[in-house]
Structure 1
Amino acid sequence: MRLLKLVPDNTNIGFLKWRHVAMAISMISIIASIALVATRGLNLGVDFVGGQMMRVTFSQPVNLDALRGTVDAAVKGEANIQQFGSARDVSIRTSLPEGGEDAANQAAERLKAAILKAHPDAVFGSVDTVSGKVSGELFETGAWSMFFAMLAISIYIWFRFEWQFGLGALFALFHDVALTFGLFALTQMEFNLNIVAALLTIIGYSLNDTIVIYDRIRENLRKYRKMELVPLLDLSINETLARTVMTSLTIIITLVVLLLLGPEVIFGFTAAMLFGIFVGTYSSMYMSAPLLVWTKVGSDSFVAKAGGQVAGAERTLKNETMPR
């Protein structure tokens, strides 16, 4: 039985010839994402802003203005009502009442009763309650976790390879995170701790894909000493393409199934992961590798270093094997 090969052994795609177009598209996308976050903002969940979040599903699309009137009559303060997933699914976010947990539970029951009175077909999902102090700590912790993850990754790659590789990996990670933020600012999907977990997972996946390509580039720099850098980068990407396609495809299939059939509570996480896997694979090929060309990576420095190590190893072996 022959093994299935999605990528033939003799594949020779010229990825780097599109590097200028890809970089222009990426820069425009990054700027657009930052502008979206700055203008539209993120739909922060109760994990980050505090309050009470209730998810309600109706048998048919509901009029948000009428629902807002029902909610305003039942609770004190301003309520944030948004559709998510479909026109029948609604999230209702309200501020926490004074009086602690008992007051919050009573407010939730009053709101449920008011909605059921106006919409007997309503089905209530989870009700999340987070205090303002806890939400502030969660937001700060989530931001620092992403920052230190990217910093540690860059330092590791810097010492593992060269500074140009660390810079390329850092830019690719920034590209992936920025575009994911832009997706959530554009769609106004809820941004909560699950999305922070998705971002950290995306960072890890993108880094893993980038390191696999970087490791093959370093091997080829030592193996093909006279080859130009651009053809060498294309060769390295093509040699790792089968692994990249198989890994990305299996993950994407799983995420698509979860997106269509999975529970609503992980819809945002799944959407972020699906988008992040796509842009992470793209950035490994079109961001991290082309930056090696623009940062003047050459085979001479790597070959000289590797050659010195090989020569030293050969001298040591020769000295050890010589008769005394």
Structure 2
Amino acid sequence: MSTVTDDATSEPSAALVNQHPKKGRGSFVHRLYTGEAGFDFIGRRRIFYVISLLLVVGSIALIGFKGMNFGIDFAGGNTFEVPAAASDQNQATAVVQKGLDKANASLGAGAEPAQIASTQVVGSGSGTSILVKTSVVQPATATAIADDLASTFRPEIEKRLTAAGTPITDQAVRAQVSSQAIDATWGGDVSRKAVWALVVFLVAVSVFLRFRYRSQLVIGALTALLHDLVVTAGLYALVGFEVTPATVIGMLTILGFSLYDTVVVFDKVDENTRPLLAGSRMTYSEAANLAVNQTLMRSVNTSVISLLPVAALLFVGAGILGVGTLKDLALVLLVGMAAGAYSSIFLAAPIAADLTERRPEYVELTRKVAARRARGATRKAGKPSRKSGARAKSRADAAESATPSADVLDEPDGAAGPGDAVAQEPEQGRARRAGGTPRPGAKPQRDRKKR
């Protein structure tokens, strides 16, 4: 006795493997990628333009009115470094401030008094020292401050000299205190080199993007880069952190991060929009918006993973551990990376879409898409399409030809007319079919002999 196996019941998983997920189901990331869920970044681009414009204008206002806190590397000044523990930072600051007060007391009217720019801990363990930066002071004042620091921290200096096996003398103790004067021209050289590096970077990026993408995407990417620079500088002016060479390095670093995030988005935009002109199903803005949503989670994940170590560097290293040399670099990286993630999603792609849709071929594409959707909406409202109308008309003609006319039905009995054949045809046809005669138009059947 044979048994019949039902494939649908024996292998239920095979049918589920080939099923496409229903609309509205699946993970949020999947629905973002397929366009079933998402945010209309391109459609609401004017809102983001206003937000970005406010950020840029506010940043420029902060830079212009409040100014940047340039360190002595740019403005010129003096540095004093003394071997001491991290807990002695306040004491070292007090010694330097006392020396500056003496020098300021002898200044004439209208002269700008010298002041402390920053104090920070350098090094760790037995090599810890206190670094104090001041504005420009006279050489005699700098020598007097260095002598006071050597005298105040002499026990700690002698302890370290003994550990190193160095004979203890007044000259050896004094040599452990470093005093340097930095000219403002050095900061000017650094600034010029930084500007040249920025110009070369922007030119190289423009050439690369132009070979890879359309010119409209290049404009969007460069606008996002400039936005990130201005916003980062504005927040730096708001916080009042000292601008150092580390800050300049951080500025150039965030440009690379912002460009990377923008290229990730633009790759998907280019992939989605390349075949658009061959059809009329989607506008450029819709395809670009789909691309932004498809790369949204990747951009968010990349930004979060990148910001976590930078935030730890700023809040733990500079805030908790007191390593002041890290805060300049950490702050500019934190702000710049966050601004880069924002601009690549909310600014670069909308600007590129806005400029591209002004081209004649994409204006025509938008018109075709609107016309196609208008036809579809009309059909849904009840108007038959051309094919369905033709089929309905043919069915009506066939029904009309098969129905006897009123003249034939009103003829007297015995009168012959064409309607007789029409009226009798159905019963004759049924009789023939009942007798084994095939109906008209049917395929011939072969006579099969019974074995």
Please report the TM-score for the alignment, with normalisation by the length of structure 2.
0.55
- Which amino acid in the other structure matches residue 258 of structure 1? L
Written as runs of structure 1 = structure 2, the 5 A alignment for 1:26-175 is 26-53=52-79, 68=97, 70-73=99-102, 78-81=113-116, 92-95=133-136, 97-98=138-139, 106=143, 109-110=146-147, 112=149, 130-175=182-227
Verify the 8 A CA contact 1:71 1:114 in the aligned structure 2: no
Q: Output the amino acid matched with 1:94.
A: S
Partner SS state of residue 9, structure 1: helix
Residue aligned with 1:79, SS: coil
Could you list the runs of 5+ residues in structure 2 that have no partner in the other structure?
A: 1-26, 121-129, 155-176, 318-322, 363-451
2:61 and 2:152 map into 1 onto residues whose CA distance is 37
Q: Name the structure 2 match of 1:278.
A: 338
User: Paired residue for 2:163?
Assistant: none
**SS, match of residue 183 in structure 1:** helix
Instruction: Give the Å deviation of 1:152.
Output: 2.2
For residues 8 and 126 of structure 1, the distance between their equivalents in structure 2, rounded to whole angstroms, comes to 58
Alpha-carbon distance between aligned partners in 2 of 1:224 and 1:216, rounded to the nearest angstrom:
14
Q: 1:13 aligns with which of 3, 21, 38?
A: 38
- Cα deviation, residue 10, structure 1: 1.5
Q: Alpha-carbon deviations, 1:92-134, whole Å to 9, x = none?
A: 42216459xxx96x465246369879xxxxxxx9977533332
1:81–1:92 CA contact under 8 A, matched in 2 = yes
Distance 2:349 2:304 in 1: 21
Q: Which residue does 1:217 correspond to in 2?
A: 269
Identity, in percent, stands at 28
CA distance in 1, matches of 2:291, 2:252: 26
Rounded to whole Å, the distance in 1 between the matches of 2:269 and 2:43 is 17
**Partner residue, 1:251:** 306
Rounded Cα–Cα distance in structure 2 between residues aligned with 1:67 and 1:90: 11
Shift of 1:195: 0.8
- Equivalent in the alignment of 1:197: 249
Q: Give SS of 1:52's match.
A: strand
What does 1:235-250 correspond to in 2, within 5 Å? 235-250=290-305
Gap change, CA 1:80 and 1:230, over 3 Å in 2: farther
Q: Which amino acid aligns with 1:112?
A: L
Q: CA deviation at 1:49?
A: 1.9
| Alignment coverage as a number of residue pairs | 283
Change over 3 Å in CA distance of 1:261–1:169 after alignment to 2 = same
Deviations 1:175-234 (A, max 9, x none): 000001101111110011111111111100101111111111111112455311222122
Unaligned runs of 5+ in 1: 1-5, 118-124, 303-324
Residues 79 and 181 of structure 2 are in contact (CA less than 8 Å); yes or no, is this contact kept in structure 1?
yes
Change (3 A) 1:239 1:131: same
**Structure-2 change in CA distance of 1:126 and 1:274 (3 Å):** farther
Answer with 1 or 2: which has the greater Rg.
Answer: 2
The residue type equivalent to 1:234 in the other structure is N
Aligned counterparts of 1:84 and 1:167: Cα–Cα separation in 2: 43
Match of 1:260 in 2: 315
Give the drift of 1:293. 2.8
* Contact 1:53–1:93 (Cα < 8 Å) also in 2: yes
Over 3 Å counting, the alpha-carbon distance change for 1:19 and 1:111 in structure 2 is: farther
Deviation at 1:140, TM superposition (A): 1.0
Q: Is the 8 A contact 1:70 1:115 kept in 2?
A: no
Aligned-pair distance for 1:142? 1.2
Verify the 8 A CA contact 2:292 2:345 in the aligned structure 1: yes
Kindly state the Cα deviation for residue 147 of structure 1 after the two structures are TM-superposed: 2.4
Q: In structure 2, what is the Cα distance between the partners aligned to 1:142 and 1:91?
A: 25
> Where does residue 348 of structure 2 map in the other structure?
288
3-state SS, counterpart of residue 10 of structure 1: helix
Task: Call closer, same or farther: CA 1:60–1:93 in 2, change over 3 Å.
Answer: closer
Higher relative contact order (CA 8 A, sep 6+): 1
The one of 229, 234, 237 equivalent to 1:177 is 229
SS in 2 for 1:95: coil
Aligned mates of 1:115, 1:164 — CA distance in 2:
64
Tell whether the 8 Å contact from 1:52 to 1:129 is kept in structure 2 after alignment: yes
- Cα gap change, 1:61 to 1:208, in 2 (>3 Å): same
SS across alignment from 1:295: helix
Backbone CA RMSD of aligned residues: 3.6
Classify 1:127/1:195 alpha carbon distance in 2 versus 1 (closer, same or farther; 3 Å).
Answer: farther
| TM-score, normalisation: structure 1 | 0.74
